[in-house]
Amino acid sequence: GAGVSQSPSNKVTEKGKDVELRCDPISGHTALYWYRQRLGQGLEFLIYFQGNSAPDKSGLPSDRFSAERTGESVSTLTIQRTQQEDSAVYLCASSSWGQGSYEQYFGPGTRLTVT
Amino acid sequence: QKEVEQDPGPLSVPEGAIVSLNCTYSNSAFQYFMWYRQYSRKGPELLMYTYSSGNKEDGRFTAQVDKSSKYISLFIRDSQPSDSATYLCAMSKGGGNKLVFGAGTILRVKS
């Protein structure tokens, strides 16, 4: 079946502009995660959604970052007033409780460049 | 100090070699341990997972966890040029918790 999809695949924006990144999880997956990967580094957790529970926002680096998810479907990550240090690949992953939370399936990522 | 430490490499080996990739960690609460493979400009792909201590084998890949030493390993036998990628270790406390990743080791297998 279809995997996790993300859009856009690449985004170039000017410093100070807002950007919105989209993630479509695998159908039926109740858990959705956002991570950030800076050049040459590992993945950094941002936020986690599980069903109708309150999201775990503990990884969001500042109040310029926010994310939403409607039910068990699409999620959007919004970065307001982008800064150059926000340049990174933003990865989304989803998992199913039936399989155990360790099986996180990743999308291809959105490469964000802030000029 | 980072919670998960991983040598970034690059590690360069000849085709057919046995590859050993390692991570150390500091948080004894981690229960699930994973290895992901990431090709250039792609998302990470789950290779192996292990719960608590022990070994797990899948084809040419073997994952080992030693919780007493806070040390995990991934072995690749008969390495192939197609194994050239970045290998990321990751771990979690379980129960839907976030994954904490190492920085990734770049592996190059030369034919």
pLDDT digits (tens, 9 = 90+) for A4-29: 999 999 999 999 999 999 999 999 88
Query: What pLDDT sits at residue B96?
Result: 63
- Which tokens is A26 given? 């695998």
**Band of residue A97 on the pLDDT scale cut at 50, 70, 90:** low
pLDDT value of position A2 = 81
Residues of B near A (Cβ–Cβ under 8 Å) read 4, 6, 8, 32, 34, 36, 41-46, 49, 51, 88, 90, 92, 94-104
pLDDT of residue B86: 96
B94–A106 C-beta distance less than 8 A? no
Span A45-74, average pLDDT: 92
DSSP A56: B
Residue A99 has pLDDT above 70, yes or no: no
C-alpha A45/C-alpha A36 separation (Å) is 7
Substitution target in B4, B47, B87, B99 with the highest count of A β-carbons within 10 Å is: B99
Let me know: does B108 contact B12? Beta carbons within 8 Å: yes
The pLDDT assigned to B91 comes to: 92
Q: Give residue A78's pLDDT.
A: 98
Which ranges of chain B have pLDDT less than 70?
95-96
Mean pLDDT (chain A) is 91
Q: Is A105 in contact with B96 (Cβ distance < 8 A)?
A: no
Q: Which is more confidently placed, A70 or B73?
A: B73
Distance CA B109, CA A20 (A): 38
Half-sphere exposure in the Cβ direction for A31 (13 Å, CA): 22
Given this model, what pLDDT does residue B45 score?
93
Query: What CA–CA distance (Å, rounded) separates A71 from B15?
Result: 47
pLDDT at res. A1: 56
What's the pLDDT tens digit per position in B22-35?
999 999 999 989 99
A34 to chain B, minimum CA–CA distance in Å?
Answer: 10
Tell me the Cα Rg of chain B. Answer: 13
Residue A66 pLDDT greater than 80, yes or no: yes
